[in-house]
Structure 1
Amino acid sequence: MGVPQRFYEAYARWLAQQGLAVLTFDFRGVGDSAPRRLRGFRASITDWASLDLPAAVQALQQRHPGLPLSYIGHSLGGQLFGWLGQGTRVFDRVLTVASGNGHWRWNAPPTRSRAPLLWWLLVPVLTPLFGHFPGRRIGVVGDLPAGAMRQWRRWCLHPDYLGIEGPAVRARYAEVRTPITALLMPDDELVSPEGIRRLYNLYDGARVDIVEAQPRNWGRKRLGHFGVFRPSPDESLWRKTLSWLGEGP
């Protein structure tokens, strides 16, 4: 959510060095897919999940036909995997990182205490004022299209989170059969362990293995919400992601 693809470049390049073809992309309105001015730019999370994500999958298939596919989704990127429904069947494995139910009551304590300020004041006031959410100015989330931010706010204020999009969306998640490894960081500053686990209630038909990643077990002082994708002299965690994707010992 609001994180440009360049944040993942080091990890993507490392995967490529291990012999994998890798595609990263920005959702419309974010990073390299954003216009010079976001005011009035029309984009929703539904657009990201229903249009941008399938287009990225198609582009990868066209560029590397015949290769087995794996999916890595961080935070929102992992949340949206099930939106593909039967389209998820092109993937052999899925790794989600810090992807959970974002309802504010399932936020980690540092974020949960600030959530009312964001959802009941900053978003309702600043989004119409600027014509988008000016997160970069205030150091919160990042700049986002108004439609995407309003939709995310609606999710984060409801215990069912993205499940409030209705039976059709819930049915897509229930159709998923691809095995999922869900990586949970106990020191995540944004999403609580309970929030992580609650997201996977949507996956009625998929095997979901939730793995807790303690920083000390991977040569890290801290992981948090973003640390898995940050370079480290100790590559053991990155190498383990290959194993979770069925690509290594």
Structure 2
Amino acid sequence: MNYDTRHNTRQITRQAVTADDGRALPITTFEPEGQARGVVLVVPAMATPSSYYAAFATHLAERGWRTVTFDYRGTMSRAEMKAETADVDRWFADVRAVLEAVADDAGGLPVTWVGHSLGGQMVPFVEHNRLASVITVSAGDGYWRRNQPGVRWIAPLIWTAIAPAAIRVAGYYPGDRLRMIGDLPGGAMRQWARWCLHPEYLQADHPEAPALFAEVKAPMMSLSFTDDELMSAESVKHLHDWYSSADIVRQRFSPEQLDGRRMGHHGFFRQANADLWDELVEPWLAG
């Protein structure tokens, strides 16, 4: 593996995990200065680069947790997206390999999964028996009728018309230019669209999903926000009800409960909310 290491208040190591098809999957590890208390794997939202979680990962490392971030394959440049054939199922398999490598390297330390949005949906498709705890942030199912009212009216148009046309023209989904979601490989966007048009979401391709979700037994904390522009309370509940065997603590906050701060779908991971990381995340980290 190739290492690019620098020192500040922590050590940052960049290396690669090998997927089951031989693809090298870059990961970044934020090491604490002393003995790690535990390991945290940050699993990103759709169309959200790992760099977005760097402040969060740094913060956790400074408090003693070895923290790992990564990008989904084919998402690190527009050229990659145009060439990429992966769909979301391929990402599921990749994350399975990342978790295996992280857990193997943990040296007996407990591993916590922090899944943002899509990352909160992936747990049943990995070796979740290797997880000591799970934290989901702004995670719900994506069926369009359970979206927040503000996006519900346009969602079917995105999935059935705008996205397919944009992919044909650009060779990938140019979400940043359209100001709709974010840039994604075409295959991933097509599969996600199919899920979002199905009343049971990913059961469009995975009828076995209820049984897989029911197998997850790691203790779980769900964190969501009333001002999330995408995930409604119904959407969040619907996803977490699938985790029928897990002991789940569900926390949902309004801006009024957070000193007027607005979180939206992505805001929780901004540096300005570091005090909330201490208050709402750290107590649920295994270690």
- Could you tell me the TM-score, scaled by structure 2's length? 0.79
Q: 1:39 aligns with which of 74, 82, 87?
A: 82
Q: Does 1:139 align with 2:184?
A: no
Render the CA deviation track for 1:82-128: whole Å, top value 9, x for unaligned.
222xx101111110001101111111121112213311221121112
Match of 2:108 in 1: 66
How many correspondences in the alignment?
242
Runs of 4+ in 1 over 4 A off after TM superposition: none
Match of 1:57 in 2: 99
Match of 1:4 in 2: 49
Give the superposition deviation at 1:164.
2.2
Task: Tell me if the contact between 1:40 and 1:146 (Cα under 8 Å) persists in the aligned partners.
Answer: no
Q: Could you tell me which amino acid in structure 1 is paired with residue 81 of structure 2?
A: L
CA distance in 2, matches of 1:104, 1:203: 21
The verdict on how the C-alpha distance between 1:117 and 1:217 changes in structure 2, with shifts beyond 3 A counting, is same
Give the superposition deviation at 1:37.
4.0
Report the identity percentage. 37
Match of 2:157 in 1: 117
The verdict on how the C-alpha distance between 1:220 and 1:72 changes in structure 2, with shifts beyond 3 A counting, is farther
User: Higher relative contact order by CA 8 Å / sep ≥ 6: 1 or 2?
Assistant: 1
Q: Could you tell me which amino acid in structure 1 is paired with residue 234 of structure 2?
A: E
Render the CA deviation track for 1:12-37: whole Å, top value 9, x for unaligned.
10000000000000011123xx5734
Match of 2:14 in 1: none
SS in 2 for 1:232: helix
Q: Mapping of 1:168-183 within 5 angstroms?
A: 168-183=208-223
The verdict on how the C-alpha distance between 1:228 and 1:220 changes in structure 2, with shifts beyond 3 A counting, is farther
Worse-superposed segment, 10-19 or 75-84: 75-84
Q: Could you tell me which amino acid in structure 2 is paired with residue 49 of structure 1?
A: F
Task: Tell me if the contact between 1:218 and 1:234 (Cα under 8 Å) persists in the aligned partners.
Answer: no
Q: 2:226 aligns with which of 177, 180, 186?
A: 186
CA distance in 1, matches of 2:215, 2:122: 14
Worse-superposed segment, 161-170 or 142-151: 161-170
Match of 1:203 in 2: 243
Q: Could you tell me which amino acid in structure 1 is paired with residue 254 of structure 2?
A: Q
Q: Which has the higher strand share?
A: 2
Q: Could you tell me which amino acid in structure 1 is paired with residue 186 of structure 2?
A: A
Task: Tell me if the contact between 2:110 and 2:286 (Cα under 8 Å) persists in the aligned partners.
Answer: no
Give the superposition deviation at 1:152.
0.3
CA distance in 2, matches of 1:83, 1:146: 22
The verdict on how the C-alpha distance between 1:193 and 1:233 changes in structure 2, with shifts beyond 3 A counting, is closer
Unmatched tracts of structure 2, length 5 or more: 1-45
Q: Could you tell me which amino acid in structure 2 is paired with residue 55 of structure 1?
A: A
CA distance in 2, matches of 1:112, 1:238: 33
CA distance in 2, matches of 1:195, 1:212: 12
